[in-house]
A and B are shown apart, each in its own frame.
Chain A
């Protein structure tokens, strides 16, 4: 028996060695240098498993990345803010994050650079991929009625607080009286149904689920309220990679721009690809309101958003968009 246990220990020691070897291999995505003849560049991208990143998967399927010698490996993180450290440290080559998270990171001294647009609001009141929902039987009729109310946001002190405040402000209310609580998107329906919150800002697919189940109704379209054709999120890389391998970054940006344009022109292709990388069913995918995917970042919208974030105290000073944006 002792011999068996010794064997067990030795095999675990071997596993340790194997584990180290495995890690070493996984780190090898840094072959962004001169290794051109060795085949396509292996590029790792950190994403969130949501509707917004559909163009990247479509572009991968359509061969827009392969045509530029890029082979994508995707990793899912719990949120865009989680991806920023991974990109900064070089574990990931690119990431996807909302623009306020990027501005907050910049303010925190993290050197990152946006390389491509992510996704935008539809720009249309009454029909967007996110909205401020209240319980069906609520007295709230418009955003101004939310003065002093408790509003559920997926992440505290981030973009959703800024845009919800914009809705309240635009409607003539005092945005500083709104109280926010952190509730993950998947739990917002239960929070609204249970009366835990007065309102919740939900994006697709939860916006549609909450309305279909007659738990809540939309009273404001905050992405639209914050700025015309708001750029919600962007793809970014580390300042280091942008400086050391401008060629790779340029090819990634081009492939992304083509993917975004393709997604914008082919909403049916977007709805078809959603069930492949998310658990959104085909029926639900057919009903969702999609964001828009213009190929260019709407910089004016980021300036407007940043101005409100400064006004609300989320940012202490306006971001340096010349450094942050391409």
Chain B
């Protein structure tokens, strides 16, 4: 217990130190406090907003866009990943296309999203799904390719059907990869959700940041940025939990659990 407490304590101290630094920098006049307000002012604006409805509806909208986008991307990537990964012909035929499409930064699709959908949620979803899909697909493909040849031969010897092989052979092998992919995709999807809300449209925290900055409300702009950060931390914690749950049987996770 003592061992696990110290990093937590240190982590909190680090955060407080960082906050104190951001409090001092504008107070000492290193940066103009009109452009970077001290931490205390940002936090007081945040506390003010926390009592009001618009902030929570913005958080709700961002989470909704994020969840829809992530679900679409993950579902498509798992299905396509298992199918492509299991069929050698498909793997060979799609590899170059995937390697071509994957590195295209999702934000490069913003003008296209605007033309296709306009400044609404669907436009933002396009870039969210695009970014999250590749994170997941590549992991699933690697996972499917990692099936132990001996286990595979055994499965063939026992005449397991196609579906049984996916269920008892491919799936357990690919799961650790898929769960990692899920966590990466979740983080990327959140980044693209806020980006999309800022530069494309649709309701949410990005739109609120735009509104705050267009109204000259600098402390509020920073407070909203802080909220997006908190959302990111929450998302990461959530998917770490999912990872531990889903892979409780896996040696890598079992090894982490203190005896």
Do A and B pair up? The answer is yes
Contact in complex: A89, B216 (CB < 8 Å)? no
What 11 new A-B contacts, CB under 8 Å, besides A8-B246, A88-B115? A9-B78, A16-B72, A19-B71, A46-B201, A75-B118, A78-B200, A82-B119, A85-B114, A279-B214, A280-B215, A284-B216
Nearest B residue (CB) for A87: B118
Contact of A1 among B67, B211, B246 (CB under 8 A): B246
B137 on the A face (CB < 8 A) = no
Within 8 A of B (CB), among A37-60: 46, 48-50
Q: Would you list 15 pairs from A and B whose C-beta atoms are within 8 A, ordered by A residue? A: A1-B248, A8-B242, A19-B125, A26-B120, A26-B121, A77-B119, A78-B119, A78-B210, A85-B118, A86-B123, A89-B118, A92-B120, A185-B214, A279-B217, A280-B217
CB-nearest residue of chain B to A274? B215
Question: 1/0 per position for A167-200, CB-CB distance to B under 8 A?
Answer: 0000000000000000011100110010000000
What 5 A-B pairs are tightest by C-beta distance, nearest first? A86-B118, A279-B215, A91-B118, A77-B119, A279-B217
Most buried by B among A1, A83, A87, A279: A279
Instruction: Determine if A85 and B245 form an interchain contact, defined as CB atoms under 8 angstroms apart.
Output: no
Number of interface residues of B (CB under 8 A): 44
| Secondary structure type dominating chain A contacts | helix
A56 CA to B119 CA, complexed, in Å: 18
Chain B hits for A206, CB < 8 A: 216
**B115 vs chain A, min Cβ distance (A):** 4
Cα separation A77 to B211 with both chains bound (whole Å): 10
Which single residue of chain A is at the shortest CB-CB distance from B167?
A2
Chain B residue nearest in CB terms to A280: B215
Task: Please count how many residues in chain A sit with their CB below 8 Å of the partner chain's CB atoms.
Answer: 46
Known A82-B114, A92-B119: A12·B71 in contact at CB below 8 Å? yes
In the complex, which residues of chain B have a beta carbon less than 8 angstroms from the beta carbon of A4?
245-246
On whether the beta carbons of B216 and A186 are closer than 8 Å, the reply is yes
Highest count of chain B CB atoms <10 Å: which of A1, A50, A193, A205:
A1
Q: Is A5 an interface residue (CB 8 A)?
A: yes
Contact B213 A186 (CB under 8 A): yes
User: Looking at B75, B202, B214, which has the most chain A CB atoms within 10 Å of its CB?
Assistant: B214
Q: Using a CB–CB distance below 8 Å, which chain A residues touch chain B? A: 1, 4-5, 8-9, 12-13, 15-16, 18-19, 22-23, 26, 46, 48-50, 75-78, 82-83, 85-89, 91-92, 184-186, 189-190, 193, 205-206, 209, 213, 278-281, 284
Q: Which of B34, B115, B120 has the most CB of A within 10 A?
A: B120
Q: Is B199 an interface residue (CB 8 A)?
A: yes
Interface residues of B (CB under 8 A from A): 32, 34-35, 67-68, 70-72, 74-75, 78, 114-123, 125, 175, 198-202, 207, 210-217, 220-221, 242, 245-246, 248-249
Smallest Cβ-Cβ distance to A85: which chain B residue: B115
User: Is B117 in contact with A86, judged by CB distance below 8 angstroms?
Assistant: yes
A75 vs B220: C-alpha distance when bound (angstroms):
21
Docked complex Cα distance between A209 and B75 (Å)? 49
**Chain A residues within an 8 Å CB radius of B115:** 85, 88-89
A12 CA / B78 CA spacing, docked (Å): 11
Closest to A1 in B: B248
Residues of A near B198 (CB, < 8 A) are 78
